[in-house]
Structure 1
Amino acid sequence: MFTGIIETLGEVVGLDSNASNLNITMHSSLASELKIDQSVAHNGVCLTVVSLKDDTYTVTAIAETLQKTNLTELRVGNTVNLERAMILGSRLDGHIVQGHVDQTGVCTKVEEKDGSWFFSFEYDVANGNPTIEKGSVTIDGTSLTVVNSGANTFQVAIIPYTYENTRFNSYKKGTIVNLEFDVIGKYVAKLMDVRR
């Protein structure tokens, strides 16, 4: 489980396909603190550390994960939002994030407004994932509050700290992002469907 508060950025230094899996090697300041079998969120995708070497580590994404996320877009040199699993008993500064990406979305607009930024996103509603005003959403692992929620669109507001310390400063129109919708909202939506 994660909080959606990004700890640091990592750099992709290796991509190796193995059958239908993708091994991703990351250079990160977190590497020296990791252990094999630990979970780390990469752009919001929970992946297990499978090997460690110096200041790098490797994780493996299976076909199911690759189909539902933007990990196939990764190239050597790309930066990735990183967060280690939450420590039980510490503050939950973001919201409950599982690291189980629901689907991808696409950035449709970036606006700078008086020192902050508004990012608009569009997504396929066929999966039944809802957003609501002032509800939570996770974009590439970053916990954010929804503004201007629509049927298949929503917007988030980004403060300068988040803009400077996450991948948001590289987003532009057409950028594909990982979306994890609020777990409580998903359960409520599912229960409402069952009752209908």
Structure 2
Amino acid sequence: MFTGLVEGIGTIVGISRVGGDVRLTVRPGFSMDCRIGDSVSVSGACLTVTDLTGRVVGMDVSTETLRCTTLGRLKTGDTVNLERALRLGDRLGGHLVAGHVDGVGTIRTKERRERSWLMRIAVDANLTAYMIDKGSVAVEGVSLTINRTGADFFECNIIPQTGRETVLLERRIGDPVNIETDLIGKYVEKFFLRGNAASRREPEGQERPGITLEMLYQNGFGD
């Protein structure tokens, strides 16, 4: 689990194919104290550290992760956002980010607004279903507040601090970016869908009831 508060920027120094998978080697631009087996968010995708050679960190990327993220497009010399996993007791300064990318968006516009940048990102409508104005979203692993949503896009501001400490302002119009929507919204939807065709079933084969007004009233969530 991560916060979406990027710790620093890393540079891709090696990419090798292992069957359908990829092995990435990254040189962090900061002192990243980690061990083999630790989880690291690489531009929003949760990867496991598999090798440490000096300050260079090696991580494996599965075929599934390559399919769902922008990591398969990386080249040697590219830069990525890095964040180590959240520890119990740490301050949660951003929002809860799982590092499980939901899809890839495309930067449509980047406009200077006073000291910040306004960025519009196009995404599939199935992702905007989990977005609300002033809600949270992770873009390239960065926790951002949504200014406005549309049917197939959302907008957010990149403040100067975020621009300096992440790779977001290096991304250009037309570039793909990793998107993770708010974790809580997906679980809420799952609970509401119980009892429908996509629902879980109890071991004896009976459907578990969904959240209904009647159930909420019965459990004290009403007048």
- Which TM class, normalised by the smaller chain length? over 0.9
**Mapping 1:43-62, distance limit 5 Å:** 43-62=43-62
**Mapping 1:102-181, distance limit 5 Å:** 102-126=102-126, 129-181=129-181
**Mapping 1:1-16, distance limit 5 Å:** 1-16=1-16
Higher relative contact order (CA 8 A, sep 6+): 1
Larger radius of gyration: 2
Cα offset for 1:192? Answer: 3.5
Give 3-state SS (helix, strand or coil) of 2:185's partner.
helix
CA distance in 2, matches of 1:21, 1:126: 27
Could you state the TM-score of these two structures normalised by the residue count of structure 2?
Answer: 0.84
Consecutive unaligned residues in structure 2, runs of 5 or more: 197-223
Q: Percent identity?
A: 39
The structure with the largest strand share of the pair is 1
CA distance in 2, matches of 1:35, 1:62: 20
The count of residues paired between Structure 1 and Structure 2 equals 196
CA distance in 2, matches of 1:29, 1:68: 26
Q: Cα deviation per residue 1:26-45 (whole Å; 9 max; x = unaligned)?
A: 01145661110000000010
Q: Which residue of 1 aligns with 2:220?
A: none
CA distance in 2, matches of 1:118, 1:105: 16
Cα offset for 1:190? Answer: 3.0
Contact 1:31 1:52 in 2 (8 A): no
Q: Which runs of 4+ in 1 moved over 6 A?
A: none
**Mapping 1:50-89, distance limit 5 Å:** 50-89=50-89
Give 3-state SS (helix, strand or coil) of 1:148's partner.
strand
Q: Cα deviation per residue 1:71-100 (whole Å; 9 max; x = unaligned)?
A: 011000000000000110110000000011
CA distance in 2, matches of 1:136, 1:125: 17
Q: Cα deviation per residue 1:123-151 (whole Å; 9 max; x = unaligned)?
A: 11246752100110000000001111112
Q: Which residue of 1 aligns with 2:213?
A: none
Question: RMSD over aligned Cα, in angstroms?
Answer: 1.6
Q: Cα deviation per residue 1:103-142 (whole Å; 9 max; x = unaligned)?
A: 1111100010111110001111246752100110000000
CA distance in 2, matches of 1:129, 1:18: 36
Consecutive unaligned residues in structure 1, runs of 5 or more: none
Could you state the TM-score of these two structures normalised by the residue count of structure 1?
Answer: 0.95
CA distance in 2, matches of 1:128, 1:17: 34
CA distance in 2, matches of 1:5, 1:43: 11
Q: Cα deviation per residue 1:145-164 (whole Å; 9 max; x = unaligned)?
A: 11111122100111101011
